[in-house]
Structure 1
Amino acid sequence: MKKHLFYLSIGALALTLAAGCKNEAPKSAEAPQAQAETPAPPASQAKTGTVVETMNAAGYTYVQVDTGSEKIWAAAPEFQVKVGDSVAVPEGMPMPNYHSKTLNRDFDMVYFVPAVMVGGAEGMAAVAAPATGEMPSGHPPISATKAEDVDLSGLAKAEGGKSIEEIYTGKAELAGKEVTVRGKVVKFSPDIMGKNWIHLQDGTGGEGTNDLTITTNVTANVGDTVLVSGVLTADKDFGHGYQYDLIIEDGKVTVE
């Protein structure tokens, strides 16, 4: 009976996460255009076991879990857990040969998941809090600053460039070509999948057409004005729910 309630708890958490992230997931959501979220997996796919090692890094908690048949590493937005705790890890994004710059550590495989269920004396408690700091990107702190907290007024369009709204409007003809855009960083997620992730806005566009995602090796802060250039990719699917209507990968970013 407890095991049945346990899996029901995982399912309930998954539905809560999916509903809470609905407005910022791709395709209509990373509506990214705000930020990509991992879709909730079926509870039956969760791996259960005991935590044998754990550590925090830039807004994420890493746990090594002994399932009885294997040991796996998983990472989720920072939560409370200790060695010896029973946990359930839902299916997530596998990252083979992952190097964490924050931890300066290599992992053969890490599963980045929306949340990890931790078992307590009273049963199972869902503990998933938004990361605030660097990410993960997979993982590290995710800035809690909202776009409305960033002043987007007075931004001049890049010389010879496009506004974010124009990029979305011209998606069909611009895909696969280099574009240049100026905007302000409304979210910065470092060291995720070996790259830094920027959400850029310039005050143009409406919901779904006002936020552009860029991956880069450059570091920026929320509120920074940046000039970005790079090849625009449309309908990018990294798998495991990480989908983007538009994205500039490995963009050249200059903080102004």
Structure 2
Amino acid sequence: MNMRFFAVMMMGVVLMTSCVKKKKEAVQPLDTSAGSEMVHAVAVKKALQANAYTYLLVSEGDQDYWIAVDKMEPEVGGTYFFADAMEMKEFKSNDLDTIFASVFFVQKLSTTKDASTMSMKNPHGTAPGRQSVDQDESISVAPAEGGITIASLFENKADYSGKDVIVSGKVVKVNNGIMGRNWVHIQDGTNADGSYDLTLTTDAEVAVGDVVTMQGTVALDKDFGAGYFYDVIVESATVK
């Protein structure tokens, strides 16, 4: 009788433990053996909406896998196209309280098979030194006390390499929780020969539209792998 009671209790503990474990989405990884330039045609099977991203369970041939794109309203059952993508393994979405065994971050999903518009060589910019967002010419943010403009940073980047700087600007794009940090793009209205958008990595949470002053360390020619290359980036930034 005691042994039976113990067995029932142990089964209850197992069930309770399984209930509180975070959901984990496990799927077969994407076959990229054909090369990074191939165009993937996928059918959407399921969509999960988070704050900044839409996570899509898609099928391609006999494979099912997850991709993440900037927030959108996809057509479930619809067909979309993308070129190469960046895989993140064991990626946790705090918004969904879900761990994806594998998810591919896609910069642009298209309804047409035009590979030339879907490059993901740099998830935060189409090439080193180029911005992934257009310049907002309505932005005009003056430097904070002791701070510099974005144009000054780009124009004199060698002088600032490895040094702490203070920059102010309006947040125009945010990618949270990538590689264990948040990626913030700011603009202040200045422009140095086409360089107007500055990326900072931070643990702080900011939103698009916020006007912020941040301090961090300048790094040059930073290559994080998976297409994350920056000629200028401010790392470990904090909001002042």
Matched with 1:52 is 45
> Could you list the runs of 5+ residues in structure 1 that have no partner in the other structure?
1-40, 119-123, 127-135, 138-143
Match of 1:81 among 54, 75, 78: 75
Aligned counterpart, 1:95: 88
Partner of 2:160: 174
Structure index of larger Rg: 2
Alpha-carbon spacing, 1:179–1:72, altered in 2? closer, same or farther (3 Å): same
Q: Which has the higher contact order (CA 8 A, sep 6+)?
A: 1
Alignment match, 1:188: 173
Structure 2 SS opposite 1:116: coil
Q: Distance in 1 between matches of 2:113 and 2:235?
A: 38
Compare 46-55 and 107-116 and name the one that shifted more: 46-55
Match of 2:192 in 1: 206
- C-alpha deviation, 1:250, in angstroms: 2.2
Q: Which residue of 1 aligns with 2:145?
A: 158
Paired residue type of 1:191: N
Deviation at 1:234, TM superposition (A): 0.9
Aligned-residue offset at 1:213 = 1.2
Conservation of the 8 A alpha-carbon contact between 1:145 and 1:187: no
Counterpart of 1:61 in structure 2 is 54
Q: Return closer, same or farther for 1:151/1:88 CA change in 2, 3 Å cut-off.
A: closer
Q: 1:151 to 1:71 in 2, by over 3 A?
A: same
- Equivalent-residue separation in structure 1 for 2:101 and 2:69 (angstroms): 17
Q: Is 1:228 aligned with 2:194?
A: no
Deviation per residue, 1:72-131 (Å, 9 max, x gap): 11122324221x44554532111111111222211111111133356xxxxx688xxxxx
Percent identity of equivalent pairs: 32
SS in 2 for 1:219: coil
